[in-house]
Structure 1
Amino acid sequence: MKVTHFYLIRHGETDWNHLKKLQGHTDIPLNESGIKQAKRIAKRLATTPIDHFYSSDLKRAKRTAQEIVRYHDLKPVLQAEEFRERCYGEWEGLHWDQIPKLYPGYGGGRPLGGEFGIETYEAMQQRGMSKLTELIGAHPNQHIAIISHGGFINSILHLISDGEVGTGKTKILNTSLNHISYEAGKWDIHTINDCAHLEFGEKKNDGL
């Protein structure tokens, strides 16, 4: 049977991650810590056989991917908007603690969508799963790295596990490794939020 492996990797830290601000589609680059984290995950994956590389088209994901492919003969990194973080509309740039004050009654708002320019959670899942399905057809029985975002990765884990893990249950830290695979109509989750390549002090951020 053909097994397609996906390595879902969150980008390194940004200044907005450090400040716990919602980023969404706002294009914030890696900060110094994020670049160091990207170099660490890159070195860790140096001997992992990876056939294809994809990333979100946002700077923080692209830079993380660029570090990883240095160890893989500088293979091309194909960019896909489908692997972007959820769009948070008016909330982008806000700290989570500001939202209940500015939008009374909406709390953290993670399940919300369709108001204030926020993308629905289901729309994010659907665009992501549609692209993954496309890649299964394009690269059967191969290993694919996808450099993306915490909220996005969690939404995929939530979907393929029927809610056992993922959104609301799992924290996806900067440059964490998440290994999933697809075989004959069935998804398997092998690794979640693996940060063995990071020093203790770097495993601190759970922002988006």
Structure 2
Amino acid sequence: MVLHIYAVRHGQTYFNRYNRLQGWSNSPLTERGLADAERAGRKLEGVAFQAAYSSDTTRARATAERILDLNQASAPRPTLRTAMNFREQFYGYYEGQDMGLAWWAAGAPHGAPSYQGIVDEFGLGATRDFLKQADPFHDAEDDQEYWRRVEGGFRLLAQDGTLRDGDRVLLVWHGNSLLSMMHRFAGDGYDLSERPTNGSVTVFDYDTAAPFERSIEVVSYNQ
């Protein structure tokens, strides 16, 4: 069974606006964030979704509900299902902190005092491992912990008995998670120095029968 997943980054929040790390913590959508959700909804209003999922964070749920409200093609309207598996990575002690300061704390001991510096030198997975090391409580998710949780979310999709081969699924998700998927599964031709914008749509084909490492094919990014 192959599912066509339309993954939308939630609308802008106040933490996004203030350049603060926002994983499991929440801040409300800004006026611009509400407009992001509206724009995504208009873009997807003609797509017939057979299911709708989102992170259980309020910013993702609010974005998803607005997209479904505007959808003209899904009949009946899918019930939104939420799961903690689709949350953004957990930043632990650094939740809500200024991004520049947090990534300096994570990367400076390794000679890479910025998020992009860590990615360029060590790979995206190292951003999670280094942040967990820097966390005085070691609560932040490392790369292995993060992917174990996310893979559980995709298993929920694979086990959804209402879905059939070729169905379309709305998934409202998070920026760093979408970027992580691209780093793991995208081929050449994508500019991954560009983070997914709030309200953007990224499309994946998900082969539910394949091992996870070979289950995702990127169709489009950050549209």
Same fold (TM over 0.5): yes
Q: TM-score, normalised by structure 2?
A: 0.76
Show the 5 A alignment for 1:169-180.
Answer: 169-180=193-204
Q: Structure 1 unaligned segments of length 5 or more: list them.
A: 195-208
Contact 1:151 1:167 in 2 (8 A): no
Match of 1:197 in 2: none
Identify the range of structure 1 (74-83 vs 101-110) with the bigger mean alpha-carbon deviation.
Answer: 101-110
Bigger Rg, which one: 2
1:165 to 1:54, Cα distance in 2 relative to 1, 3 A: farther
Distance in 1, matches of 2:98 and 2:220, equals 29
Contact 1:55 1:65 in 2 (8 A): yes
Amino acid in the other structure paired with 2:51: H
Query: Is it true that 1:156 corresponds to 2:184 in the alignment?
Result: no
1:114 to 1:98, Cα distance in 2 relative to 1, 3 A: closer
Distance in 2, matches of 1:126 and 1:135, equals 15
Distance in 1, matches of 2:62 and 2:194, equals 24
Q: Secondary structure at the match of 1:178?
A: strand
Amino acid in the other structure paired with 1:114: K
1:108 to 1:39, Cα distance in 2 relative to 1, 3 A: same
Distance in 2, matches of 1:28 and 1:147, equals 16
Match of 1:58 in 2: 57
Distance in 2, matches of 1:19 and 1:77, equals 29
Q: Which has the higher helix share?
A: 2
Q: TM-score, normalised by structure 1?
A: 0.81
Distance in 2, matches of 1:99 and 1:16, equals 14
Identify the range of structure 1 (5-14 vs 151-160) with the bigger mean alpha-carbon deviation.
Answer: 151-160
Q: Deviations over 1:69-118 (max 9, x none)?
A: 11245431111000000111111111122236666526346242534121
Identity among equivalent positions (%) equals 24
Q: Which residue among 143, 147, 159 is the counterpart of 1:125?
A: 147
1:128 to 1:100, Cα distance in 2 relative to 1, 3 A: closer
Distance in 2, matches of 1:100 and 1:114, equals 11
Contact 1:55 1:79 in 2 (8 A): yes
Distance in 2, matches of 1:153 and 1:53, equals 17
Q: Secondary structure at the match of 1:182?
A: strand
Residue-pair matches, total: 192
1:69 to 1:113, Cα distance in 2 relative to 1, 3 A: same
